Structure 1
Amino acid sequence: MPSKYHHGELRTVLVSTSLDLIAEQGLKGFSVAEVARRAAVSPAAPYRHFPDRESLLAAVACRVALQLAEHVEASTAAQDDPAGKLAAAAGAYTAYVMDRRAGLHVVFAAGLDNPKYVELHEHSRKLMDHFLVLAFAVAPDPQTALELMEQLLAQAHGYATFQLDGVFAQHGYSTELVVRKSVESARIVIRGHLAPSGP
């Protein structure tokens, strides 16, 4: 089956198709063969750009890291105070995962810790550094900032997963409502970390 795409276009199409496939079937359903079928190219065509499954997945993860960073930066731009920026970043993460059904579970998928995926590691580090900078701006010390970032990201991912899995749908929640709840919950967690500890 001859490729209908220009050499430079096929790589982009394969990444986009992979992201759509992961959105539908999760990482367990991701395969190079299925991506090729959906892109209407020969089974061998993807291997001209990606030597194996993990290389294609690394390119997808890089796209996710870039898009997440863009969403987080856009969400924080409208906020004035550090706590508001951090809470907005958590909400932006929830919104992205609900929209693309991809998040840090794709960015840090098994097998992608190989040093050869330089571009992925660069973008994933920038993404996490952005969250860390926001956490450092409100936390009293580095350890608290790390714990705060971990808790907020886990919570933000959980909100998105509950919506995607239909848990919130039973209550008629819209995606906008879920994002608002994610942001408000993030604010509560932030206030909890900043509150003075008891005797």
Structure 2
Amino acid sequence: MNPPAPRRPVGHHHGDLRNALIRAALDLVGERGPHGFTLAEASRRAGVSVAAPYKHFADRETLLAELATRGYREQRARFAVAVGGGEDPVEQLAAFASAYVRFAAEEPALFDITFNAGLDKSRFAELAAAGEEVAGVLLPVVRRLTPDPDDAFDLLLRVAGAAHGLAVFLRQGLFGVGNGALTETERRAARTARDIAWRRDV
């Protein structure tokens, strides 16, 4: 009787490895920010060899681009629900601003990667397309308020910029902590969006 063949380590399947690296990178970004980790650290956190990530990601920026793409897709889904809840474009923008703040609070690592990783979108076609999809949800709303394409884009930037600033202040604890602070910041973002939309010609 032949002895049983030695068992090979199971390790990660390809899909599991990719997802494990993504989860590890999100954890590291949450702890240190998008620039505060290396691909080797993500590998160790995921429990794989430092060579393993290169089967899926050419470098750290490629991994971050994957995460930023996920961030944009999550935003698109949330913003589509927000603006789909009514017909008044001013109220749709208010709902978008509120959803923006909640995304930043509930997905802080994705928020930081999307806006602070400094990725060159010309390198990552999928990331650029995901960003365009977010704009594609919102631009039809502002075009109902001002048909000129440049004015519409400027209005969207002002609303998004205000929501972004409030989201950052919330993240920094300037409005307190907990669900009460989040709810009040959502309301503040909605009020600000309405004010910007109503005063768009000023």
Instruction: Specify the TM-score bucket, using the shorter chain as the normaliser.
Output: 0.7 to 0.9
User: Deviations along 1:152-182, whole A, 9 cap, x unmatched?
Assistant: 1111111111111111118x95212211111
The alpha carbon displacement at 1:3 in A equals 7.4
**Alpha-carbon spacing, 1:74–1:121, altered in 2? closer, same or farther (3 Å):** same
Between the aligned partners of 1:106 and 1:73, the Cα distance in structure 2 is: 18
Counterpart in 1 of 2:122? Answer: 114
- Could you tell me which residue of structure 2 aligns to residue 80 of structure 1? 87
Question: 1:107 and 1:127, CA in 2 relative to 1: closer, same or farther beyond 3 A?
Answer: farther
Check the 8 A contact 2:64/2:113 in 1, yes or no: no
Alignment of 1:107-186 (within 5 A): 109-115=117-123, 117-169=124-176, 173-186=180-193
Instruction: Provide the residue aligned with 1:100 in structure 2.
Output: 107
Give the TM-score normalised by structure 1. Answer: 0.86
Match of 2:64 among 57, 71, 77: 57
Structure 1: gaps of 5 or more residues? none
Shift of residue 183 of structure 1? 1.1
Return closer, same or farther for 1:46/1:99 CA change in 2, 3 Å cut-off: same
Of residues 38, 49, 57, the one that matches 1:42 is 49
Kept in 2: contact 1:3–1:40 (CA 8 A):
no
Whose Rg is larger? Answer: 2
Q: Deviations over 1:24-62 (max 9, x none)?
A: 321221321222122122222111100111111110111
Q: Percent identity?
A: 32
| TM superposition shift of 1:109 | 3.6
Assess if the C-alpha contact under 8 Å between 2:33 and 2:112 holds in 1: no
Q: Is the 8 A contact 1:27 1:106 kept in 2?
A: no
* TM norm structure 2: 0.85
AA aligned to 1:135 is V
| Pairwise CA RMSD | 2.3
In structure 1, the residue matched to 2:37 is 30
For 1:163 and 1:173, locate their aligned partners in 2 and report how far apart those are by CA, in whole Å: 11
